[in-house]
């Protein structure tokens, strides 16, 4: 087993590289080491967990860390399956520093017993994005055409699209390659804008990597099965099948995957029309959910994807087969929610059109959908005009008389035009410094209403993040990293101080998985078993856990979360609280007190609520207690 973490330190400005070693025990994985390297070099760090290549399912997630262009603070993003091939390089982490003199494709290869080979090949990104399949797909094809023939086994490619150049929320995409075939199962390090970081800060448009290094990955199934039997009275495979059921198929719901299970169960908690559903009656919300989603959007998904069993993995052997496909379109809940109901789209053809455009352009899909939905409301309310955005037409942005097929497609076309206008910087559309700065400038010209209907988490001076798509205050918490599940997103009412503590607890548990490169869909055993595994394999269980607590505190020490800037954020929480009382029948006196406070003085109540969450976070994530 590795006793050192091997880091390939690459200076893109000179092409110079070396391998640094860090003792396991001082650091444990891509997050704590990434935090250390980011603080030292402002690097983009891409790495695998210690269990990559092992027999444990879900341990081949590729983890990206660095200071995020859109969030403004340290961020962690991850991509399914991509560490399986990365492990063949015989390193644990790539740390990218400096800026290449010209835009380049980076080639990394390593044959067993030899040194890492690295080359930088100049590329004209705009020309490549415009050819063949376009955008990120064309960039992958280009990198594969340049270097694919040099690999003894299938490599993998990380690529960015035009959104990485034009905005601060460009993502990094990759797809598994099998027997020389580039598949259509996109995997994404979407959140945090690391595509923008890779291209704008390092001038790297794609990285192709692979090799044939065989290292001492843990592969003793008999021993590992015994650990699981001792804990769960089940072997690994059986426990994993149980833990990942939601992502495969849920008998009772007759659907599966994040899209299927969430849309089947959200009911009146579903968010639509740029969060305007929070102002509707429960009856109206249930009508939208029943008529537009259960009877159409979800039904299409179940007929086309679930019944035909179009399901794939992210590239690693995994029984969860969570990638629910309709031919080349992959249906995940969050992008198909922001570029679905949130944008007034309730039809699969329309959602596929908009999601595919966002993917091709290389956007973080969740944030792209949040921006599209916000601009649609601005157009609908005439805060801005189509010509301001360099587009034509206005969306149909009300459930009244909504034609679920025709109006969804109409809205998808407007959404697609908005994304194209962002890339081409049409009209007032300049997102190069992010949506929050753009919104601020626009609201100075067009009035505060523009800003007031944009829902985002704010960080430091310009950082922003479209929240995870759950109607719960946890999604708007002042955590040091927002936009992923480093917070409590349960739908029950939790008093805000307690919510802050739960957020902190969630952060530590998620770090256990991210620092080991485990896909969180396996958290049903991962949170508990990973520290045990560190104990069994390295004798470092206590050190691992104290390192996690220390890393969480260090991440939180930079917490520059900013109090909610838009009125819609305040209303999101206020309406949530009322729904808990009026719909769920919650009679908790603490809930009633908060509702009365919000009714009486929403501004002051929201500020207090926000600070109470913050207190719970701060008291839980102190380095010294
Ligand atoms: S659950 Fe999905 S993303 Fe996670 S390892 Fe399995 S196939 Fe990959």
Question: Which atom of ligand 1 is found nearest the CA of 322?
Answer: 2
Residue 566 pLDDT grade (very low, low, confident, very high; cuts 50, 70, 90): very high
pLDDT digits (tens, 9 = 90+) for 146-179: 999 999 999 999 999 999 999 999 999 999 999 9
Give dist(CA 284, CA 287) in Å, integer. 5
Residue 215 pLDDT grade (very low, low, confident, very high; cuts 50, 70, 90): confident
Output the residue whose Cα is nearest ligand 1's atom 6: 318
Helices (H), 296-364: 298-301, 333-338, 348-361
Output the residue whose Cα is nearest ligand 1's atom 4: 519
Question: Which atom of ligand 1 is found nearest the CA of 61?
Answer: 5
pLDDT digits (tens, 9 = 90+) for 316-357: 999 999 999 999 999 999 999 999 999 999 999 999 999 999
pLDDT digits (tens, 9 = 90+) for 22-46: 999 999 999 999 999 999 999 999 9
What is the model's pLDDT at position 119? 98
What is the model's pLDDT at position 1? 67
pLDDT digits (tens, 9 = 90+) for 446-462: 999 999 999 999 999 99
Mean per-residue pLDDT, 544-573? 98
Mean per-residue pLDDT, 186-192? 97
Mean per-residue pLDDT, 519-536? 97
Ligand 1 mean position to 293 CA, how many Å?
A: 25
Mean per-residue pLDDT, 435-440? 98
Residues 6 or more apart whose Cβ sits within 8 Å of residue 594 = 495, 496, 577, 605, 609
Give dist(CA 280, CA 276) in Å, integer. 7
Residue 73: left if φ>0, alpha if ψ -120 to 50, beta else—which one? beta
**Best of 84, 189, 312, 314 to mutate for ligand 1, by most ligand atoms within 8 A of CB?**
314
What is the model's pLDDT at position 624? 73
What is the model's pLDDT at position 148? 98
Kind and range of the H or E element at 161? none
Output the residue whose Cα is nearest ligand 1's atom 8: 314
% of the chain residues with pLDDT over 70: 100
What is the model's pLDDT at position 614? 98
**pLDDT at 217 exceeding the cut of 90:** no
Ligand 1 mean position to 589 CA, how many Å?
A: 41
Ligand 1 mean position to 229 CA, how many Å?
A: 23
Ligand 1 mean position to 61 CA, how many Å?
A: 8
**Best of 81, 261, 317, 332 to mutate for ligand 1, by most ligand atoms within 8 A of CB?**
81
DSSP classification of residue 255: B
Cα angle 93-514-75, degrees, rounded to a multiple of 5: 80
Ligand 1 in reach of 320 Cβ (< 6 A): yes
pLDDT digits (tens, 9 = 90+) for 234-258: 999 999 999 999 999 999 999 999 9
**pLDDT at 311 exceeding the cut of 90:** yes
What is the model's pLDDT at position 82? 98
% of the chain residues with pLDDT over 90: 97
**pLDDT at 6 exceeding the cut of 90:** yes
Question: Which atom of ligand 1 is found nearest the CA of 187?
Answer: 3
What is the model's pLDDT at position 623? 80
Q: Is 241 exposed, middle or buried (0-12, 13-18, 19+ CB in 10 A)?
A: middle
CA distances (Å), origin 561, targets 522, 603, 614? 29, 18, 9
**Best of 52, 77, 80 to mutate for ligand 1, by most ligand atoms within 8 A of CB?**
80
Ligand 1 in reach of 58 Cβ (< 6 A): yes
Cβ proximity of 4 and 22 under 8 Å: yes
pLDDT digits (tens, 9 = 90+) for 85-96: 999 999 999 999
Output the residue whose Cα is nearest ligand 1's atom 7: 313
What is the model's pLDDT at position 216? 82
pLDDT digits (tens, 9 = 90+) for 69-125: 999 999 999 999 999 999 999 999 999 999 999 999 999 999 988 999 999 999 999
Question: Which atom of ligand 1 is found nearest the CA of 57?
Answer: 5
What is the model's pLDDT at position 625? 64
Ligand 1 in reach of 322 Cβ (< 6 A): yes
């Amino acid at each position: 087993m590795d006793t050192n973490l091997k880091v390939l330190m690459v200076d893109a400005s000179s092409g110079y590289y070396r391998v640094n070693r860090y003792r396991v025990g001082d650091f444990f994985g891509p997050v704590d080491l990434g935090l250390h390297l980011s603080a030292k070099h402002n690097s983009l760090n891409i790495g695998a967990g210690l269990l990559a290549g092992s027999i444990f399912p879900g341990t081949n997630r590729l983890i990206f860390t660095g200071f995020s262009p859109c969030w403004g603070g340290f961020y962690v993003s991850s991509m399914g399956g991509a560490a399986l091939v990365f492990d063949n390089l015989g390193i644990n982490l790539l740390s990218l520093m400096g800026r290449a003199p010209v835009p380049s494709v980076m080639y990394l290869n390593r044959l067993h017993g030899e040194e890492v080979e690295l080359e930088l090949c100049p590329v004209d990104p705009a020309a490549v994005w415009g050819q063949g399949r376009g955008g990120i797909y064309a960039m992958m094809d280009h990198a594969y055409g340049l270097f694919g023939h040099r690999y003894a086994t299938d490599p993998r490619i990380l690529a960015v699209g035009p959104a990485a150049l034009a905005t601060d929320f460009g993502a990094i995409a990759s797809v598994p390659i099998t027997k020389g075939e580039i598949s259509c199962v996109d995997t994404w390090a979407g959140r945090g804008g690391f595509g923008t970081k890779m291209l704008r800060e390092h001038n790297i448009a794609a990285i192709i990597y692979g090799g044939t290094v065989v290292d001492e990955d843990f592969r003793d199934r008999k021993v590992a099965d015994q650990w699981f039997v001792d804990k769960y009275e089940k072997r690994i495979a059986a426990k994993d099948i149980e833990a990942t059921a939601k992502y495969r198929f849920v008998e009772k719901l007759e659907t599966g995957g994040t899209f299927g299970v969430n849309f089947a169960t959200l009911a009146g908690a579903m968010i639509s029309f740029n969060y305007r559903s929070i102002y509707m009656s429960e009856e109206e919300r249930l009508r939208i959910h029943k008529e537009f989603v259960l009877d159409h959007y979800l039904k299409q998904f179940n007929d086309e994807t679930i019944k035909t069993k179009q399901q794939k993995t992210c590239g690693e052997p995994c029984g969860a087969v969570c990638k629910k496909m309709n031919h080349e379109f992959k249906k995940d809940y969050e992008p198909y929610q922001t570029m679905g109901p949130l944008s007034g789209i309730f039809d699969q053809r329309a959602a596929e059109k908009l999601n595919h455009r966002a993917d091709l352009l290389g956007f973080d899909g969740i944030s792209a959908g949040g921006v599209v939905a916000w601009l649609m409301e601005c157009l609908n309310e005439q805060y801005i005009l189509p010509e301001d955005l360099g587009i034509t037409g206005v969306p149909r942005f009300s459930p009244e008389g909504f034609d679920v097929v025709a109006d969804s497609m109409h809205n998808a076309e407007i959404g697609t035009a908005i994304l194209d206008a962002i890339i081409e910087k049409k009209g007032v559309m300049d997102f190069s410094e992010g949506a929050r700065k753009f919104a601020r400038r626009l609201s100075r010209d067009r009035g505060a209403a523009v800003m007031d209907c944009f829902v985002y988490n704010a960080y430091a001076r310009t950082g922003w993040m479209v929240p995870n798509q759950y109607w719960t205050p946890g999604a708007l918490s002042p955590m040091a990293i927002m936009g992923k599940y480093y917070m409590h997103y349960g739908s029950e009412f939790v008093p805000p101080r307690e919510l802050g503590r739960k957020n902190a607890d969630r952060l530590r548990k998620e770090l256990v998985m991210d620092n080991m490169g485990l896909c969180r869909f396996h958290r049903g055993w991962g949170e508990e078993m990973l520290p045990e595994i560190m104990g069994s394999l390295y004798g470092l269980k206590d050190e691992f856990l104290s390192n996690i607590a220390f890393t969480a505190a260090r991440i939180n020490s930079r917490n520059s979360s900013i109090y909610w800037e838009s009125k819609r954020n305040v209303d999101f929480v206020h309406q949530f609280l009322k729904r808990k009382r009026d719909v769920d029948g919650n009679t908790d006196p603490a809930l009633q007190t908060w509702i009365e406070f919000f009714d009486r003085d929403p501004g002051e109540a929201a500020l207090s609520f926000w600070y109470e969450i913050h207190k719970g976070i701060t008291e839980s994530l102190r380095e010294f207690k």
